[in-house]
Amino acid sequence: MNETAKAISSNGKDRPRLLRILDRIEKTGNRLPHPATLFAISAIIVVIVSDLIYRLGITAIHPGTGKIIKAISMLNADGLRFMFVNTTDNFVYFPPLGIVMVAMIGIGVAEGSGLIATLLRHLVLAAPRRLVTAAVVTAGVLSHLASSVGYVVLIPLGAMVFAAFKRHPIAGLAAAFCGVSGGFGANFLIGSVDPILAGLSQGAAQLIVPEMQINPAVNFYFMLVSAFMVVILGTWVTERFVEPRLGKYDGDVEELESVTSYEKKGLIWAGIACAAVVAALLLATLPENGILRNPETGSLLHSPFMDGLITAVLVFFFVPGLAYGIAVGTIKNDKDVIKKMTKSMKGLAGYIILVFFAGQFVYYFKNSNIGVLLAIKGAELLKSIGFTGISLLISFVILSAFINFFMGSASAKWAIMAPIFVPMFMLVGYHPGITQAAFRIGDSVTNIITPMMSYFALIVAFAQKYDERYGIGTIIATMLPYSVIFSIFWLILLGIWMLLGLPTGPGAPLYLSP
């Protein structure tokens, strides 16, 4: 029996009401089928529903293109051919699959050589215990600079750090997850998603003001304040609710031993190798004519570096891991390197099976146009209600959070919603920056509790490393307090921001000039 189950059975009625509610959510969620089965069932449901919507003749007008969007039946001849022909592509081109596998090649060498374990021991033995949770959440927020890398790298490391401190690893996983995904609308610097969203906002704004320009830093002030809020709240929820509920972890965790002089030598060589990798990346990105910058515009945000960021992660782990392994003798030849890569891939077997079914569901959903129809119809409904002021933005946050249960990609949702809400709010008097900020709040707060989020299955796989009985219910119940607290305080922050009339970023006043 896992520790959560023990806590439920032993404390039962003595546990606070909120914790007992979360326990019931977990127990209910864990009665669901295996995530792979759940995705397979969902794919079948999409096929049936797509045919029903098609026969009912439900349509919507795409706000960006003006085209009529119709449901595409997956049960007619074209739909059946699509499913038959694209089974392999639906699996191979499922976005997280390649990212995870490429990253794990480098991580496998770093982990197999002993570098990660030794480095964690060194950091854990030197770090103040009280700052560990805040540090993990902060690292999660900062990971947005590197697109989706936080999901692949930081979340499992958060669990390992907590386990090393003899704290529950799932609490560490949750702390990292809340920073990476729940805090997606916050950051201390401009991240890779900012120019994408700003570009979509600009296109929508120009429907009203053709000359309007929206810069990538349009939400920077709001994001910066939000980042501090996420770190404070994420730390508090982890230590106040999540970790006490999980209880003590009695699973197998390696005892932390002092780092030997031999291992310190390996860390030095790994540090030198890491510095060399960083120097090479800086040389390729900092100069205006850097080879990894956009060769036409010189931009770094839209560049080969950002497009191939996962390659940088591979090299960042592989080279120091190789240097450490050679220095301490855990890597003696090329065969040892391949063995360590292979071992890391073995751990992904269950995830690969899950991705096969998840990929079918996602692409059936996309091809059927159900997601687009839901997004447009939901947006039109909110528009027809006619809210104004703070209530208008709060309603928009709620709608964004709801749509997040159906469409996982932030850019895909914003591509549908921006052409409706940016112009509408501009006519009310609001600058596109505050509209985009409200969307990012809604997109963030439900990221951590929707199984439709692309990396949710990976989070479940990470959790099952510590107990195979952990399932979707475990993750949802564990992350729900973050979602609720983030929602409440982020809406309060949004309300205060609007009452004070503060700009959301450079060149982004709250209100448009008369």
- In terms of average pLDDT, the best of 19-33, 180-194, 224-238 is 224-238
Q: 512 lies in a domain?
A: no
Contact partners, residue 154, CB within 8 Å, separation at least 6: 136, 139, 140, 143, 176, 179, 180
Q: 508 lies in a domain?
A: no
For residues 29 and 210, the model is more confident at 210
pLDDT at 8 over 50: no
The CA-based dihedral angle spanning residues 307, 98, 406, 223, taken in that order and rounded to the nearest 10 degrees: -40
Q: 347 lies in a domain?
A: yes
Distance CA 88, CA 389 (A): 48
The predicted pLDDT at position 3 comes to 45
- Widest distance between CA atoms in the chain: 72
For residues 372 and 7, the model is more confident at 372
The predicted pLDDT at position 1 comes to 40
The predicted pLDDT at position 61 comes to 83
Distance CA 452, CA 180 (A): 16
464-510, pLDDT tens digit by residue? 888 777 887 788 888 999 999 999 999 999 999 999 999 998 888 88
What domain count does the chain have? Answer: 1
Q: 17 lies in a domain?
A: yes
Pairing mode of beta strands 68-70, 59-61? antiparallel
State mean pLDDT over 243-267.
79
Distance CA 261, CA 269 (A): 13
pLDDT at 166 over 70: yes
For residues 407 and 15, the model is more confident at 407
When the pLDDT of each residue in the chain is averaged and rounded to a whole number, the result is 83
Q: Phi/psi class of residue 66: alpha, beta or left (left: φ > 0; alpha: ψ in -120 to 50)?
A: left
Distance CA 151, CA 99 (A): 10
Q: 510 lies in a domain?
A: no
Query: Could you give the C-alpha distances from 409 to 34, 267, 383, 447, 468, in angstroms and in order?
Result: 24, 38, 22, 10, 28
Q: How confident is the model at residue 111 (pLDDT cuts 50, 70, 90)?
A: confident
The predicted pLDDT at position 10 comes to 43
State mean pLDDT over 289-294.
89
| The three-state (H, E, C) secondary structure of 286-343, written as one string | CCCCCCCCCCCCCCCCCCHHHHCHHHHHHHHHHHHHHHHHHHHCCCCCHHHHHHHHHH
Q: Which of 94-98, 100-104, 166-170, 407-411 has the lowest mean pLDDT?
A: 407-411
The radius of gyration computed from the CA coordinates of the chain, to the nearest angstrom, equals: 24
State mean pLDDT over 277-296.
91
318-375, pLDDT tens digit by residue? 999 999 999 999 999 999 999 999 988 887 787 788 889 888 987 898 889 887 787 6
Q: 433 lies in a domain?
A: yes
Contact partners, residue 99, CB within 8 Å, separation at least 6: 148, 152, 310
State mean pLDDT over 240-269.
82
For residues 67 and 78, the model is more confident at 78
- Which residue bears the tokens 């089928």? 33
Q: Which of 209-218, 238-247, 284-293 has the lowest mean pLDDT?
A: 209-218
Query: Which domain, by its residues, includes 113?
Result: 3-500
CB 409 within 8 A of CB 452: no
Structure tokens given for 308:
């191939």
- Cβ-in-10-Å burial (0-12, 13-18, 19+) of 49 comes to middle
pLDDT at 5 over 60: no
The predicted pLDDT at position 386 comes to 65
| Dihedral sign, Cα of residue 491, residue 496, residue 500, residue 503 | negative
The predicted pLDDT at position 472 comes to 77
* 3-class state of residue 511 by DSSP: strand
Q: How confident is the model at residue 79 (pLDDT cuts 50, 70, 90)?
A: very high
Contact partners, residue 308, CB within 8 Å, separation at least 6: 292
Query: Could you give the C-alpha distances from 135 to 9, 164, 283, in angstroms and in order?
Result: 33, 15, 29
Contact partners, residue 130, CB within 8 Å, separation at least 6: none
14-33, pLDDT tens digit by residue? 556 655 665 666 566 566 67
135-163, pLDDT tens digit by residue? 889 888 887 765 566 777 778 888 888 88
Q: 495 lies in a domain?
A: yes
State mean pLDDT over 59-63.
79
Q: Which of 122-126, 214-218, 239-243, 494-498 has the lowest mean pLDDT?
A: 122-126
State mean pLDDT over 193-215.
80
Q: 278 lies in a domain?
A: yes
